A and B are shown apart, each in its own frame.
Chain A
Amino acid sequence: MKTAIKASLFALLLIFGVGIGCWSLLAFTAGLKQADWQLGELLRQYLVATGVVKPTHTLVDFYSHIKGVEYLICVGFFVAFPLFYKYVNSDVKKLETRG
């Protein structure tokens, strides 16, 4: 019973993953076509669309913007670093089979 649930969960996750993957690939290809197949241009448009790059008119604007982005990076790091630390500091347990 437990194995069957696990198998269905795995199949569900696989279908979901494949769906997301196809959608991403499609979006990426469409984006590239729109950017005349230039990867750099697509990346530029992405940075503008996500607000990472935007025109600033005053020094206050500039600093508010870069501090905001730096803040997001640091928050991400505060989450990522403990996870990474835990990953590095825990050995993979060896699987034991009942004989």
Chain B
Amino acid sequence: MSGHDSKYFTTTKKGEIHELKEELNSQYKDKKKDAVKKVIAAMTVGKDVSMLFTDVVNCMQTENLELKKLVYLYLINYAKSHPDLAILAVNTFVKDSQDPNPLIRALAVRTMGCIRVDKITEYLCDPLQRCLKDEDPYVRKTAAVCVAKLHDINAELVEDRGFLEALKDMISDSNPMVVANAVAALAEIQEGSSKLIFEITNHTLFKLLAALNECTEWGQVFILDALSKYKAKDARDAENIVERVTPRLQHANCAVVLSAVKVILQQMELITSVDVVRNLCKKMAPPLVTLLSAEPEIQYVALRNINLIVQRRPSILAHEIKVFFCKYNDPIYVKMEKLEIMIKLASDRNIDQVLLEFKEYATEVDVDFVRKAVRAIGRCAIKLDRAAERCINVLLELIKIKVNYVVQEAIIVIKDIFRRYPNMYESIIATLCESLDTLDEPEAKASMIWIIGEYAERIDNADELLESFLESFPEEPAQVQLQLLTAAVKLFLKKPTEGPQQMIQVVLNNATQETDNPDLRDRAYVYWRLLSTDPEAAKDVVLAEKPTISDDSNMLDQSLLDDLLANIATLASVYHKPPDAFVSRTRPTQQRDEDEEYAEQDSGTGDTSAPLSEAGQVSGGYQGASPSSPLPPPGGYGAPPRATVPPSGPPPPAAAVVPDLLGDLMGLDNALVPVGPVTPATPAGPPLPVLLSAQDGQGLQICGQLIRRDGQVFYSLRFENNTQMPLDGFMIQFNKNLFGLASAGPLQVPLLQPGGSANTLLPMVLFQNVAPGPPRSVLQVAVKNNQQPVWYFEGKVQLQALFLEDGQMERSTFLETWKSLPDSHEVSKDLPNAIITNSEATLERLLKTNLFFIARRTLKDTNQEVLYLSGKVPPNVPFLVELTFLVGYPSVKCAVKTPSPEMAPLFFEAMESLLR
């Protein structure tokens, strides 16, 4: 049935458009159709053929279905850019929606819903109303989805016209496909709404379960996904649902199976009978296993979900570990996921078999996979104490193969094993030391050095071994340097002989004099002080007993797990992240209040790492030993103290000040009171922009921006002390700047303990030290404290913090001012990143920054909306503003008229950030 459409792509010569125009208006049907095909071909390869709009639309009234579909397709693509002309199509649409042929009726209503032009939408309502009651189910199922489309464009209209009620009635439709699509539409509408629109009741539950048996496989997925949100009344209710859903586990469609599993798992939470639960677990296992025979892409989704399921109900697949053994031809992404599940299912009963597998994988060619396999062995050792020795033996065998990255990975996990089982397996140290000179990765080196230091008394030539690393001390990465320092100290405390004493001198010298790394330097000073004042105390600190670690890595937090299990089969279950972390709906259908918007921004900026990034690496060792305490944990092998992972193990004995880490993370550090003459509550808004990074500030981080509160300008600042010493005596000064901004009082920052932070609002005055020359938005700042050098950094003057409260104008004044200013004072710019989804909300937000609404109008031909606003900037410069935009589409055109047009760029900057 092969076609020959490719010929339509070939015309690329000049005058093509003109020719097409002629052909489109030809009286011969075939020529016309060919021309439309050429147009669509051009559209497909991304050429702009929007100028043919009228000519193409004229072909719409045709008896030929194929031609009609092509014209409709064209309309979907170009109606947005010709909203005025799109009206031409309305008549035909309305007519088609009453065509005797149901295919055409459905096509018309389906296409109209895809044209996101307000005018068309108005005309859509009547045809939609009819089609919702159409005698043909094909039309009704199309109309059901169309309600969701309309809701996406204009939610109010849907409610006003009673479409929601009509949609709810469709759940009782006699046709299963209509029911399924109505459910999908309702669920989508509910998702975007804060009101309760769609709730499954007893009555609808019955209808849905009935439709489940009869609708297409895709429809079954819609219904099951909706059912998984149903809150059963009690255990019996839950059991009834499960009973009706269980047969779906036998469906050949994997998506149906996974959605059924989701419903069953949700309802199981309510079921109290142990027998019923056990029975259900038994029933779910085979279908889950069979998912692994599906296409690799589906397998991947299934494995990510199984990973979640076994965390909640390990019993389901406890006996099925073998099905997760990797096949030679599995794609690497499938192998990686299988490995993760194998670790989770490994038990004393199956560990021998599993180790054989891991060992096999560790000799494959894919480096990442091999590393993961080696790490897996280590994790099993930590998880299963009775199998630890066997795991270690396998690791030793692998080390003997002498493949470089295998050896390094093995050493890293062995370090963790030593932490888990102190004083049990040190006999293997000799074997490890053989590979010393092949190590070239920082983590492996650091691990090896930690081992040498920790067991210095049992390694005869520990000093020689450490010595060999010392030569390259200055070039080593920080991680390795820190370990070398600590290991040298341990060695000295354990063997206070001449060699180690010389060594410690060299190391301390190196670490204090010749380094830029404050962590290293400070740690070295602390050791030095300790060793020189009280060696016994040094022993107590450095050689203290360490808390043992456990393998809780890669286990999700319970509430997150709940959330993800409710989202089985969806992207959230693949990413292992809650939907908020990655969903980006562009058009919120409901107006939200400020708070919510902030919250949204928060989650957006707070989690900039893509949700794909893996949930952290193994090494339980880090978590137990690295609280961000001022002192390095006693003899600890840890991440740099900057790490913000809350300690999961028992609290370390030497932690002097443990700041409220959680509060710290969320910018809500309430341990420190913000000070200043006026003390409005510290804003819990989006995080402040970083002005001085911890790296540049030798551990001191400063964030801040200008804000406006009650008619007063403040510099909202946040100081974070990531150094290892307390900082105090903070002072601030501003360089000359455009508005002459300067501090109105002293900077009030309390003594900052290491790891501590403080937020403060610094009141500002204007026109103290105005910079001459062209306007620049730069704000140069200097900050000093008693411990560090003076830091210079640059911030920005954000105009939105400066708009005056009395910027409002009468309409007439606005008009007069506009007219009185010469045209040369008008500047305009397109703000590509700005978007207005709801004029009312935007106006409200602008009002809060003292931009005042004057008037609005709608441009007839383009459907664009225009807003007029006024504002005033100190000392007394009015800004007259015109914003032109299409609601819900990015890019806003901003024009300003002002006596000081040179300030316009600043204004545009402010506007763009306000309209983001």
A, B: real partners: no
Question: What residues make up the interface of A, taking CB atoms closer than 8 Å to B?
Answer: none
Question: What residues make up the interface of B, taking CB atoms closer than 8 Å to A?
Answer: none
